[in-house]
Structures are given as C-alpha cells and as structure tokens.
Structure 1
Amino acid sequence: MKFIRGSGHINIPVTWVTAPTYPNPQWPGTSIETFQVDLVISDKTSGRVEPLSTETLLCLLYQYDLWLLVSPILSSFETGQTELAKSSQPGNYFVLMINPDLTYRLGKDPDHSQPLNLTVITRNTFFHQLHDSFAQTPRIYTMKLSSALCCVFATLTVAFPSDYLKIATWGVEGYAKDNPIGVTTGGKGGKTVTVTTAEQLVEAVKGNAPKIVKLKGKIVLPARLAVGSNTSLIGVGLSAHITGKGLNIYNGDNVIVQNLKITEILDNDCITIRNSTRVWIDHNEFSSDIDGGPDKYDGQVDIIRASDFITVSWNYFHDHWKSSLVGNDATFRDLDLGHLHVTYHHNYWRHMGTRGPAGRFGHQHIYNNLYEDFLYQAIHSRSDNQVLVEGNVFRGNTSEALSTYGLVIPMDSPNTCVCGDEELDGYANLGAKNDWGHAGVNITQKGNFYKADYKFKLTPLPLVPAVVKLGAGIGRIW
C-alpha cells in the first residue's frame, strides 16, 4: 500500500501523554516514553483523506532525538509539502508505544493539540527543520521529495547526529552497483509488458534485449523459468506469486528481480544464479515449510559457478530449511575463486534452518540483516570463503550466528556421514558491531576482507530490527 501518488502533504501532529518512562539498558541515561502520533495523508486537490491504517513500527528516544519510522512507505512524491497543523480532527489513527521492547498497537485518539517539531529525512537528504517546536501558528514548508522514497523520519530536536541521517537505501547498493562492469539496471530503457499467465511470462523474459516485465497474480510454473539478460522482473502490488517451479538466471548479465513471492519450489532452488553477473534480488518473499527436513526443498537464492557482483537485499526469507548457498561444489574451486562477490543487506530471516548465507570460495559482505529463530547455523564461511559481517542482529532461538569451521553440520546437506562433511575452514572479519543475542560465534581464522570496497549506508544497530521488519519483503516498493 502507498499513501498517495503525485503531490500532497503529510499532516503530523503529536500529543504527549502522561506515562512512565522505561530505562533502556542499551543506551544508558536514555528512555522510551509512551506517546501518540497521528498521521494523515490528504490530497489537497480532491480533499481525500487517507488515515494511516497499518503499522508504524519504531519510536525511540535516543538521548533527545525521537525517531518515528513510518509505514507504509511513501513513494512517487515528485513535489510535496509537509504541513504542521495545530490540531486535527478527532478519530484519526495513532500508534501508542507501550513498552521498551517496541510492541505497539493501532488505536484512535479523540484529541490532538500541539504540532511536532519535524525533520523529514529521505534517502539521506535533509530537507527542512522547524526550530520553534510548539509554534502557535501552523507553519508550512514546501520541499521537493525524490521519487521512490526510502523512509520518512521525525525528530524532536534541532541538534541531530549527522551519522544518523545515513539510515538505509532502497536503491541498488553493494556489488550489484559498484563493480568493474557497471551499475545493475535490469531492463531500464526497454519495453514494459504486464503478464498474468505462465505462458506470457515465459515469452516475456526471453532474450537479451532490455525489457521490464511486470507480473500480476499467481502463476504456477510448469517448468523452470529462464530469465534473459537485461531484464527487470517485477511483481505488481501484493498479488505477484510464483510457485511450482523456480527461476534460472544462467549465463546472463544485468538482471533485477523485485517484489515477487516465491513459495514451495520442490524441484530445485527458488532462484538459481549460475555463471551470471550483475544480479539484484530485492524486496521479495521466499518460503516453504521447515518441517520436511533439509532435503525436502533446496535453496531459496543460490549463487554458483563463478557468478559475480550480486546484491541480495530487503528480502523476507522464512519457514524454510536451506536459504542461500554461494559456491555449491568443491570441484569448481578453481572456477569460483576470484568470483562470487555478493552483498547481503537488510534481509529478514525468520524460522530458518541453515545457510544465511553459506559460502565457498568467494567474498560476501553481510550487513544489517535480521535473524530470528535461525535454528542451526546462520552465516557459514567455509572452503577458503571470506565474509565481512557487520551491523547484523540475531534474536530468538538462533544457535550459531557465525562459523568459519569447515564442518558442514548434519542439519545441512548433503552429508556423507551422520557427523557431517569436513571441508576446509573459511575466513571471517567483523566490521561494525553486531548484536549476537544468545547465539554462538565460532571464528577459527580471520581473513583479509577487512572493509567493503564500496560506499554503503549502515543502519545504526539499535534500529536494525524495526527498519528491516518494516522494509523487507513484498508490497513495499510496487
């Protein structure tokens, strides 16, 4: 769901309520307070008003800075206004934060009074700030907003730490952007076609000419889908769903897959990237079930045979055993070495078994991902693979967050004996601080992958769970 397309304005008044504060052990001397926020999007041309009817996920008091992360995400605002009204009509939606672990509920507020001292930040761009926080007269500031906005934030203070402006990006980032070939653009500049059947989809993604293919509705693929180079395959809204068979990106270049739900692929991986370069897998949802054991389903996104310059971002992986394997066979060691550069960022893994990711022979930069109940082994670097791991959060029943020990545990597969497979150890380096939760970490050797060789936006660690839950998966960008 999107708030509005075209021009409009955001009306964000705030009412403070009397409530206790809660100590927060992560930030000594700070607290999280209960408060109410009303968000209304109205189109001045038509007078139509759309109250916020889905979750607003994160409210934090960081020293004196209040962060408000808004969902659904605003997009396609070419011009707009941010209006701070002194009051609003009763009955509009608000979000009431009730405790320090960030649980929330959606309710209605009978009255609103004071305007909020507002800062709007989108894609690391500072637009404007109201200095007199409780002005008697509502102020209107006109601003130009970029299209496909990342997020909207609000803060209560003029003094704002500059590093906290760099929250995240929804544009292509990582190896799919910064590589010797060029930025991954998919089918940009090509013809756009919308498909609703398997037959139409098969034809639409063929060939190497630039093309943008939009999928509507659920499709049961009778055979694996061969996706050609220079293709953007994009699901429309929440309806785009592929099941039956998965996707092959073989011997290709410059492919984008976004906003697709891919579930219960029995024959092979949901997506297999083989001998391909510049692939961006972004804002998708992958699932099956975890009850059938490690070999009922294969991987969700597997990257093999010297593929290179891949980014896997903002995906929701859940209820599946083996998620993402980079480098699948020791016999291809000589072929793979020097390739398999993959970025994983802002993905949400929940109720998984292994491979988040597991890598051989390559380099993976893994940052700002959220892992919940990753039952056996999340990040596994083996067979001379190198990982740079930073800014990730592990929660719930996650036994091992990171391992470089070469043993392929019995809960992974294939196995030659009940005690697992023995491979060479991998390497791991830690960049920005990770939150391991209660999970174990087993780094047997450090490598030389100390720093990513590109610029990227690192979400502050305390914000990672909410930012990822808000942004990952389908229905966020289309």
Structure 2
Amino acid sequence: MKTTHPLLYLLLALTLSACGGSGSDEGGRNPSSSSASSSSEDNNSGSSESSMQSSSTLSSSSSSSARSDDGLPDAGRLSCEQANQVQGFASLGESTTGGAGGDEVTVSTGVELASALDNKGNQPLIIYVDGTITPENSPDDKFSIKDMNDVSIIGVGSNALFDGIGIKIWRANNIIVRNLTMRYVSIGDKDHISLEGPASHVWIDHNTFYNDLDTDKDFYDELVSGKKNVDNVTISYNVLRDSWKTSLWGSSDSDSAHRRVTFHGNHWLNANSRLPLFRFGEGHIFNNHYEGVINTGINSRMGATIKIDGNLFEDSKNPIGSWFSDEIGYWDLGENQFVNVEWVAATDGDVTAGPDPESTVSYEPPYDYTLVPLETVADHVAVNAGAGVIADCL
C-alpha cells in the first residue's frame, strides 16, 4: 500500500527544475498498421476511427495509494542506502541479498567469470566484473547461473561490458545482477539476461541494455526475459533501449506459471514492443519513463494482472493494452501521465487501453513501495537509471 507526501514532492520538483524468442507477436497483426496520424510534436491534432492522439493526459484510479519517498537527496539522486535497498517482489520473504557476506572475486574475462561460477562452493559469492566480456574470451555461448543460490554479479565502476554474450539464470535462487552494460547478444539464448524457472528472488538493477533496431526483428531476442515459474523478481533502474523484442515474461500462451515481477525506475527508450509482454501472474510497473515506444508498450496477456502506477509515457504509440492472445490480460491504473501518445483502435479481440485509459481490474501488490511524483519521473529516471550511476555505492 502507499501514502503520499505532497510538500516533499513539491520541494523535489522545484529542486529538479533548478538542476535542469518464443512468444512472438502472433498472427502478424500490427496495431499501428491502420494509423494515419503522426506521433510527432508538430502534428498531434489528427485523429480517426483507428488512431487517437493524446498530447498530455493523466489517468488515475481510485485504488491508487503509494507511500512517498522519505527524503530523496538533491536532484533526485538516490543515496547509496536507498540505491542498495531492493523494492518490489524481490523484497518479499527473506528478501534478495545475492552473495552478500560471502566470498568475493574479481574477473576481467569470460574464462575467469565462468571459472568463478563453476567453482562456487556453499558460501555466497560476489563476482566483480572489471573488463569486457566477449564471446572470444568466453568458453561458452552464455554464462549459466544454474543449480546454485546466493550469487551477485556486479560491475566495477563503468568498466563492466558484456559485448555479444548474455547470462542465463535457471534453477537458482537469490541472485543479483547490477551495474553492467550489455549489448548485441546474438548467440546462446540471444537474451541479455534470461530467467528460466524454477527461479526466485532475482534483482536486476542499474544496468544498461541495448541492441540495434537496424537489424531484422529476429536477429536478437529479448533484453531481459523470464519463463516458467519465475517468482519474486525486481527489475529496477535499468536503461532498456533500441530493441525490437524487449522484455518477455511467459514464453507462450501455454506457459501458465504464476510469475510475480516488479519493474520500477526504468527508462524504456526507442523500443518496438514488449515493454513488457506479460502472460499470467502478477506484475507491478511504477515510476518508469517510456519514451519513443514504436508499436506497443505494456502488453498484458492471458489473464495477467498488472498494477501500472506513476509512469510517464512520452512520444509513444499504444502505451498499454492486450494484444495477440486468445485471452486478454488486465490492468489496475494508478495515476500515469501520457504526453504526445497515439492510441490505435484494437481489432480481432485485442484491447487498447486508450484514449481514455481506465482500470479493468482492482489489484494492489503485497508490499509497501515508494513513488516519486509524476512531474519528476523523467528527471528522477534520468539521474538514476543505467550502469555507472551507483559505482560509488558498490
């Protein structure tokens, strides 16, 4: 549940102002194919039966109730204490601590990273990455955190780059991945980070993920994805950009495991779709900045229930809906802001949330969480999301 703190929010706003794979989009239907209007700032008045433009709107639901931030530092930058505190589903139960309190090792090549994972004993393990990990300096086509618990992979400064190779987390518990830059993964599972159940208590935080839109849409797969029974996961303060297929949860309409995933503080930028695509289970999406969504944004499918709260959608198409499944998914909308967005009328049983978004279900996540006010989301995400930001906190 949440509470608010209007005076603190006003002060923060003034401070910011002063500081300046599987699961493809089945059926080949394209929600944007019937649109005749532009999404550009200089042409936002056109509308038709199939395309509805919104220059600046808010949506809210009476079920909204988040608690305030208890004192962000100047300019909205998280303190180290705040940055190192997991929120969301990964905070439930015994929380997510990764390799804290255990052995530590620093690696600079893929061979060294694979060896550190292979030789993990019963103690928790923190692996610090200080260098560029490539297919050429790695023994396999991906790094498997498999059949093990209590592991952290943490980048050193701004030096940790996974260039063309990804990480798979499966049959694992209590895993943390932070402060990495990952790009152009076209081998292995072709995901930057993929989770396959059973897996639980996973925190993916303050990373930068990107591919290249100047490729075929199937050349790469997801940036971050999960399938089967993946539970208590938090995806926070990441940059996810330049991707055709961005974040898939549930590999197909028959992957009915009950997933629970939180997405908060992320910058979703210049991506085509799946932001995320979420089947079955429960999701919570708050205080994200969506910018330049090309086709479809949050896609709730196959009975999924998602709380969508305190997000900014900007210069984007179809921010929220349910597309490409036999069974739709649902959403509970808190207060979100839509700036220069385009809604395309759904067909063939799909549902587009706009142009006047309303909740289709009532849902509150089972934890307390912190919201920053809508007017500060863009600045808050800009100064906090991505690799390198928390280097001094690790």
Task: Please give the range of the TM-score, normalised by the shorter of the 2 chains.
Answer: 0.7 to 0.9
Q: Residue 320 of structure 2: SS of its match in structure 1?
A: strand
Distance between the aligned counterparts of 1:62 and 1:250, measured in 2?
40
Residues 9 and 372 in structure 2, CA contact (< 8 A), matched pair in contact too: no
Secondary structure in 2 matching 1:204:
helix
For the residue of structure 2 that corresponds to 1:200, the secondary structure is helix
Q: Partner residue of 1:226? A: 144
- Does residue 302 of structure 2 align to residue 392 of structure 1? no
The 5-angstrom pairing of residues 58-97 of structure 1 reads 67-69=14-16
Flag the structure with more relative contact order, 1 or 2, with Cα contacts below 8 A and sequence separation at least 6: 2
Q: 1:63 to 1:245 in 2, by over 3 A?
A: closer
Equivalent in the alignment of 1:475: 388
Structure 2: distance between partners of 1:235 and 1:182: 24
Q: Secondary structure at the match of 2:339?
A: coil
Deviation at 1:438, TM superposition (A): 2.7
Task: State the partner residue of 1:259.
Answer: 179
Equivalent residue number for residue 84 of structure 1: none
Q: How many angstroms does 1:303 deviate by?
A: 1.0
Deviation for aligned residue 1:288: 1.2
Q: Determine helix, strand or coil for the equivalent of 1:172.
A: coil
Are 1:214 and 2:128 an aligned pair?
yes
- CA shift, 1:451, in A, is 1.2
**SS of residue paired to 1:331:** coil
Partner of 1:187: 99
Q: How far apart, CA to CA, are the structure 1 residues paired with 2:180 and 2:153?
A: 8
| 2:291 matched residue in structure 1 | 372
| Identity across matched positions, percent | 33
Determine helix, strand or coil for the equivalent of 1:436. strand
Q: How many angstroms apart in 2 are the aligned matches of 1:64 and 1:151?
A: 11
Render the CA deviation track for 1:194-245: whole Å, top value 9, x for unaligned: 1111111012123463101000011103421012421010000111001222
Cα drift, residue 449 of structure 1: 4.6
Which secondary structure state, in structure 1, belongs to the residue aligned with residue 168 of structure 2?
Answer: strand
For residues 304 and 69 of structure 2, what CA distance do their matches in structure 1 show? Answer: 33
Alignment of 1:177 with 2:94, yes or no, is no
The aligned residue for residue 104 of structure 1 is none
Residue 291 in structure 1 maps to residue 214 in structure 2: yes
Q: Which residue of 2 aligns with 1:5?
A: none
**Matched AA of 2:193:** I
Deviations along 1:389-411, whole A, 9 cap, x unmatched?
01100112x1110002x42xxxx
Q: For 2:264 and 2:205, how far apart are their aligned partners in 1? A: 10
Deviates more, 1:295-304 or 1:198-207: 198-207
- In structure 1, the residue matched to 2:333 is 430
SS of 1:400's equivalent in the other structure is coil
Structure 1 position 96, deviation (Å): 7.3
> Unpaired segments of 5 or more residues in structure 1?
1-60, 71-94, 98-122, 127-149, 155-167, 408-421
| 1:273 and 2:176 matched | no
Larger Cα Rg: Structure 1 or Structure 2? Answer: 1
Residue 358 of structure 1 aligns with an amino acid whose one-letter code is L
Q: Aligned with 2:14: secondary structure?
A: strand
The answer to whether the aligner puts 1:455 opposite 2:368 as a matched pair is yes
Q: Residues 41-80 of structure 1: CA distance to partner in whole angstroms, max 9, x if unpaired?
A: xxxxxxxxxxxxxxxxxxxx9878773359xxxxxxxxxx
* Cα distance in 2 for residues equivalent to 1:65 and 1:270: 34
Q: Secondary structure at the match of 2:303?
A: coil
3-state SS in 1 of match to 2:229: coil
1:67–1:153 Cα contact (<8 Å) kept: no
Q: Distance in 2 between matches of 1:203 and 1:434?
A: 45
Q: Could you tell me which of 146, 166, 188 is aligned with 1:246?
A: 166
CA gap of 1:216–1:443, structure 2 versus 1, over 3 A, is: same
Q: RMSD in angstroms over aligned alpha carbons?
A: 2.5
The structure 2 residue matched to 1:343, chosen from 224, 238, 262, is: 262
CA contact (8 A) 1:368 1:392 kept: yes
- Paired letter, 1:331: S
Distance 2:233 2:271 in 1: 22
2:111 maps to which of 167, 189, 199: 199
What amino acid maps onto 2:174 in structure 1?
N
| 1:192–1:434 distance in 2 versus 1, CA, 3 Å | same
Conservation of the 8 A alpha-carbon contact between 2:12 and 2:376: no
Query: Structure 2 regions of 5+ residues with no counterpart?
Result: 1-7, 21-67, 77-81, 344-351
Cα-to-partner distance string for 1:117-159 (whole Å, 9 max, x where unaligned):
xxxxxx9556xxxxxxxxxxxxxxxxxxxxxxx63359xxxxx
CA apart distance, 1:331: 2.9
**How has the CA–CA distance of structure 1 residues 348 and 303 changed in structure 2, closer, same or farther, with 3 Å as cutoff?**
same
Q: 1:438 to 1:170 in 2, by over 3 A?
A: farther
Work out whether 1:327 is the aligned partner of 2:241.
Answer: no
Q: SS at 2:379's partner residue?
A: helix
Aligned to 2:5: none
Contact 1:69–1:151 (CA under 8 A) maintained in structure 2:
no
Q: What TM-score, normalized to structure 2?
A: 0.73
How far has the Cα of 1:443 moved from its partner?
3.3
**Does the aligned pair in 1 maintain the 2:103–2:123 contact within 8 Å?**
no
Q: CA deviation at 1:384?
A: 1.1
How far did residue 446 of structure 1 move?
5.2
Change (3 A) 1:446 1:64: closer
Tell me the amino acid that sits aligned with residue 321 of structure 1: W
